Structure 1
């Protein structure tokens, strides 16, 4: 009786459950910007007025429906009078922006920008494209609202094309290819309802153990800037592009609390130039990072966001926060230069009260709104609507582009002759090889990268086993499969084959975005392979000297314990939805490997800067990667820019020609192939006064046997000593001294 009676009794107004029922839902994806009307779709609580009960009247609807994918930020929408968006077409938007600001002053609305995500949908709904995310666009301004999707290895909505991860695309050293990838991503984003792609990640890889290393392009600022700018150019033919994470973000596990200490010279010369390159390319938006820089949260950092980004660089787009904990205080964030809180109005809900109290100036609010409106107007109506049909998503042309990127990204690290052979192990000699063993669990897995915010669900993924099986069958070569890490089965398979391929490396459980209690991801605990994978390689190599290892992962590995035991090594990265085909085409010689390492591979972790994945405070200095190896005279296992080929290239003697250095490169081998010619200048960067070889240019050239090409690099007036080569290894670079 007691329980039954309690169920029907009216709860006390202060009862916790009553408060829980009455609480207005603003939605986890209510990604506010500068505004705060309540969520129109939520049920308003009842309250007593003069003894009567009535329902509070809901204000006009101003929120956007979220994208249907769990990781998508949903959409930013603009209210009919308040605005969240942004031009460039000042002639088109200036007057409207001023009128909008005046409307807010009259108290109709500060600004509304809702962008967020609802609860995860059932898997069968992920194939559907999202509905129009903006319930209330502003047609009189030509604004559709901001609709966010993440990256960077493709569009995270629906079943999109999954390209190789950014680190793999950095290994191509081909900005033209990256621009084409950006174009494809922009088309697929628009076709699925998004108009902002937040996948231009250009954080400097200070240490290869960083969990999200796979999302950036490497350890060199120049390479980052060129590849990031190319992705911006390609994507912004169709959608707005957001560059992230500004700045000094390179530790994952402690990203919400770490304070990066760095002096101005190191920050200016090493950790910011690649962001400026993307801003100069016209990036619409910049996302601030979670971490602190010199005791101030990046989302509040006036020096970074206002003085440098908006002031010195002249950035006229908008700044958005990273999700949830990207800002900690509305007043500090807006005052520091933040324009948009993502993905929900958590702190910015207090803005009206802060404006009324004079804590936040209305001029700063107006500036943020103008930036949002200007950017939206600049992109409104861009592109031809007929291009953005759902049929464009994961179309044959985009999948072929993913295959091309994977082929050009794979790095041949070692290709020796096995014991008793006189020719290199790869490519497969079909006259001698009749059975191939494919060994390792990763050979059968859809191992395409992290499963955090960057996860793409491709309609199909070709595993390495799938690719090798199809290629071998087409050549009449038998296949011995051992899709397990069992040592006994692996040894038996290796002995039964003429060539053994061992597939090892990392998965999303070993590295990626830190997911905390959800498990997986985070910074790597070690750069070595797991003990199980090292034993697997040693066992297979002992059973068959004609063994090649295919590595999968997002950055460098330490391979000293087993490298000498195998004849061949390929770094396949996380190669995307056509990665298995790419690996097979390289193993069988259809494609000549041409990838180059975008990060240094050390002999041991002692050669690298210290890395504490749980650090609360860390100091970044001027040296890391290949510049550290030079300065400390260390010899890594593989230098930045290194990569072998099935053919041989010869560089001529570089010479000064006016304001440029020219060098001839010739294919002196027997197969067509690509070479990446790299140009280094002696520069003292940051707080280190030593002039060290620093990448300042690169060119990919395709040459048939016997063909040559002259590569030209433009000189800067301050450069006095420059070097040309095919990696950062000082012993292989050719030096040119420039006259005074």
Structure 2
């Protein structure tokens, strides 16, 4: 049992005594958001003029000394306030760092800022798995791999909760489509469910997460916010989750009795189906009071534990922690570690400062503050640095020219006359993100967030790169976006390419510092990049039914024998590394891989060593191999270190549908260790279990 859970369970007796003294109405009040829809709209239209400008309350009982739950959204930082919170890079960028220790540090910073805003719960641990990278909110998650999602999400949970702030993990489950999120029913085979879409949630539960948010969508025809199977059987019974479940906002509960009986503990953030309706449902015998007692106990116990720990910690975080220097530096470091160098022909990058007298920035996004989605995850920092700001900072004596690129002939001339050209292309909140519209709307245009209908750049950006790229050999494309962007039709037109994601409030500065060599890029792709979109699972983004296959992402391409343009886990550096002397072992509890990593270049750099496990000898259909561990290591020139990565044998099991349990195959497993999922980047061995 982890310490967070153990600490909470110590409050079970006290919480039970409190619940036993409560009336039915008081217990149901704990389960209900304290805002009306009118209150929420008034908050959004008030002085701060945005969603969650201040923490949203639910429950509480002053007489019994139970504080309300005070909700603060995320996941790029704390949504509350205006011009105060630190805006970190989006989660996908942080996933590209493959740095769980850094993510835990970010969790600490976010936890402190939640308390600084007066909240006690952070609802920004987003770990849904993108079935297809066109999902508009995939910027909010760590990548396409379930193991990485769970590992990084658990790190954020630990960091946030170490600051005595409840972490809420979302959206449970199968929430990987945006414009159909209110109406779509997802279906898949039971093995797919248990091996692909649920393990990362269990990882966060095992890390001690205090709360889970159910999702809007349906699973196998039942609303996830009502699902007795997902909320009670799997989450609370099989996984022994001791915290509480809350609904996604406003539309996450559709029926009083169904939600009450299905394991929903708290309707957020506006009471529509709980409150008086739930009290009446109990009186009418439609919902048992035992269900209410269970929910009330979970809520009271969790809040008591966190509030008691915060009081005893001696901390009293106030607004001075919001956007403080330490947190902004952490946001900068996250961008430095997450931005991925994808191409660097003839070592064009880094550019040499002394040779740059004039640099051209081409593309609309080069001079735009662009931190990603403007939905519920939007953070309001004191400032956002654009790439233009960053290059002006780092090249104070050079001429920095920006042109949006409408006139291709003029763009060619600008590129030709400059010492170097940087294209900044990709997306903003109008292209991808949370889709907010009338429920079941059929008027989707793709112009206000939502899912991407295609995975490539805008046509005018492709034309710009093709026209101006060949005019200057010192050329770089910086891609801005929340997930994979196709490069097939333009990559040969430029010398270098970086994936910057939405890199946070310091992102523009970091982009410039990487291109000019002040920072050595070290991010790795948290997704595979295919040559063709058809190599990925196909999705109808506007539908009432969507089937999820067992294979997606790099596992799908490997199973089909399709070579990607760039493999999962790939990323270049300005230095070079060798990986050698592999050794693999196994015992009854763990499999291990050991190797030696050496920096063979002339500057400090970081490498992400990755361990994969293969299932070639399986008697059933299984992936070629799966990520089962990673470790980031920073090395000075000439320095070498021995790296050891281990993985519990438990994570090698498959789900047997006949016994409804995970089973270990006793066979020889292939083991891999290296620097990406590509065969040429891996050293291979075997272990027997």
712-721 or 574-583: bigger deviation: 712-721
Partners of 1:374 and 1:605 in 2: how far apart? 48
**CA deviation vs aligned residue, 1:599-630 (integer Å, no higher than 9, x gap):** 11111111111111012111112100010111
Cα shift at 1:462: 0.6
Could you say what secondary structure the match of 2:149 adopts?
helix
Q: Do the aligned residues in 1 keep the contact of 2:129 with 2:144 (CA within 8 Å)? A: yes
Corresponding residue number in structure 2 for 1:346? 272
Q: 1:606 to 1:688 in 2, by over 3 A?
A: farther
Q: Do the aligned residues in 1 keep the contact of 2:353 with 2:395 (CA within 8 Å)? A: no
Corresponding residue number in structure 2 for 1:13? none
Corresponding residue number in structure 2 for 1:145? 68
Over aligned residues, Cα RMSD in angstroms? 2.4
Q: Do the aligned residues in 1 keep the contact of 2:225 with 2:252 (CA within 8 Å)? A: yes
2:125 aligned residue (190, 200, 205): 200
Q: Do the aligned residues in 2 keep the contact of 1:354 with 1:360 (CA within 8 Å)? A: yes
Q: 1:590 to 1:152 in 2, by over 3 A?
A: same
Partners of 1:657 and 1:272 in 2: how far apart? 28
Corresponding residue number in structure 1 for 2:466? 538
2:297 aligned residue (370, 380, 387): 370
* 1:646 correspondence with 2:646: no
* 1:263 correspondence with 2:189: yes
Partners of 1:414 and 1:618 in 2: how far apart? 35
**CA deviation vs aligned residue, 1:517-569 (integer Å, no higher than 9, x gap):** 69611000111111111111112113223211010000011111110111010
Partners of 1:497 and 1:109 in 2: how far apart? 68
* 1:390 correspondence with 2:319: yes
Could you say what secondary structure the match of 2:627 adopts?
strand
**CA deviation vs aligned residue, 1:247-292 (integer Å, no higher than 9, x gap):** 1111111111111111111111111110000001110000111111
2:486 aligned residue (558, 576, 583): 558
Corresponding residue number in structure 2 for 1:407? 336
Q: 1:586 to 1:134 in 2, by over 3 A?
A: closer
Corresponding residue number in structure 1 for 2:542? 614
Q: Do the aligned residues in 2 keep the contact of 1:134 with 1:144 (CA within 8 Å)? A: no
Partners of 2:62 and 2:138 in 1: how far apart? 41
Partners of 2:357 and 2:600 in 1: how far apart? 30
Which runs of 5 or more structure 1 residues have no equivalent in the other structure?
A: 1-85, 418-423
Which runs of 5 or more structure 2 residues have no equivalent in the other structure?
A: 439-443, 650-665
Cα shift at 1:439: 1.3
Partners of 2:616 and 2:252 in 1: how far apart? 34
**CA deviation vs aligned residue, 1:284-336 (integer Å, no higher than 9, x gap):** 00011111111211111111111110001000100111112212111111111
2:350 aligned residue (427, 430, 449): 427
Partners of 2:571 and 2:634 in 1: how far apart? 15
Corresponding residue number in structure 1 for 2:674? 725
1:358 aligned residue (271, 276, 285): 285
Corresponding residue number in structure 2 for 1:504? 425
2:345 aligned residue (416, 430, 440): 416
2:252 aligned residue (291, 301, 326): 326
Q: 1:214 to 1:121 in 2, by over 3 A?
A: closer
1:486 aligned residue (391, 394, 407): 407
Corresponding residue number in structure 1 for 2:659? none
Corresponding residue number in structure 1 for 2:134? 209
1:219 aligned residue (125, 144, 164): 144
Partners of 2:432 and 2:407 in 1: how far apart? 23
Partners of 1:126 and 1:667 in 2: how far apart? 50
Corresponding residue number in structure 2 for 1:100? 19
Could you say what secondary structure the match of 1:380 adopts?
helix
Partners of 1:607 and 1:373 in 2: how far apart? 48
Could you say what secondary structure the match of 1:230 adopts?
helix
Corresponding residue number in structure 2 for 1:279? 205
Q: Do the aligned residues in 2 keep the contact of 1:267 with 1:686 (CA within 8 Å)? A: no
Q: Do the aligned residues in 1 keep the contact of 2:61 with 2:67 (CA within 8 Å)? A: yes
Q: 1:617 to 1:457 in 2, by over 3 A?
A: same
Q: Do the aligned residues in 2 keep the contact of 1:93 with 1:377 (CA within 8 Å)? A: no
Partners of 1:482 and 1:296 in 2: how far apart? 51
667-676 or 130-139: bigger deviation: 130-139
**CA deviation vs aligned residue, 1:450-509 (integer Å, no higher than 9, x gap):** 000000111100111100111011xx3332222454323322221221110010001111
**CA deviation vs aligned residue, 1:53-73 (integer Å, no higher than 9, x gap):** xxxxxxxxxxxxxxxxxxxxx
Q: Which has the larger radius of gyration?
A: 1
Q: Do the aligned residues in 1 keep the contact of 2:76 with 2:379 (CA within 8 Å)? A: yes
Partners of 1:284 and 1:245 in 2: how far apart? 14
Cα shift at 1:661: 2.2
Q: Do the aligned residues in 2 keep the contact of 1:204 with 1:248 (CA within 8 Å)? A: yes
Q: Do the aligned residues in 2 keep the contact of 1:111 with 1:369 (CA within 8 Å)? A: no
Partners of 2:615 and 2:238 in 1: how far apart? 23
Cα shift at 1:246: 0.7
